Amino acid sequence: MNLLDSLRTHRLMAIVRGPDPEATLASVLTLADTGIALIEVSLTGADALGTIRQARASLGANFGLGAGTVLSTDEAQRAADAGASFLVTPALAPSIAEAGRLGLPVLAGALTPSEVVQAGTSGATAVKLFPASIGGPAYLGALRDPFPRTAFVPVGGVDAESARAYLDRGAVAVGVGSPLLGDAVRGGDLGALRDRAAEFLAEVSSS
């Protein structure tokens, strides 16, 4: 997949991490049905690889389904085998180079200017600014001056209000976890998840 084009087009990536594999899968499928086109399933969730396999089978080969919190080369390989079409890391890690070897785009975690440079030289498709809440939209704005061509995706503490602020400061997209998922990954209300997804989609489309 062309991850960068998808980020620029859709401007929102859902981050799904849950303790209940069945509820996690239901959340992924609900988000996709609501219109969210990029979904990351974190490997720190219960049976995350199984969730990716099942979601891929349901959503088809072309859906933007990725694996998150991918740190090692082994995790990168297993995520690819499960059907992930992109990888996400929380930091600079061996999985970035492995993603390149596997031919998968990677959203690499970085926070400082030095880490942003290293992410780019390591082959990252885009930079996951994490945890974005430490500096907020103003910090992203400061980074945009020395890195005007870097594709930033703020992640960590992004809610519907701050999503618009990050996009206004030049982010290509935002990654959203618990403010979007709520209790759905623990078996909560999928109808409420649909409502929150619609709210986030409206925010990013208006930015």
Residues recognised as catalytic: 40, 128
String of b and e for 63-97 (b: at least 16 CB within 10 Å)?
A: bbbbbbbbbebebbbbbbebbbbbbbbbbbbbbbe
User: Residue 161: is it exposed, middle or buried by C-beta count within 10 angstroms (0-12/13-18/19+)?
Assistant: exposed
CA-to-CA dists, residue 161 to 137, 176, 205, angstroms: 11, 12, 13
User: Residue 61: is it exposed, middle or buried by C-beta count within 10 angstroms (0-12/13-18/19+)?
Assistant: exposed
Q: Measure the CA–CA gap between 17 and 40, rounded to whole angstroms.
A: 9
Residues recorded for the chain: 207
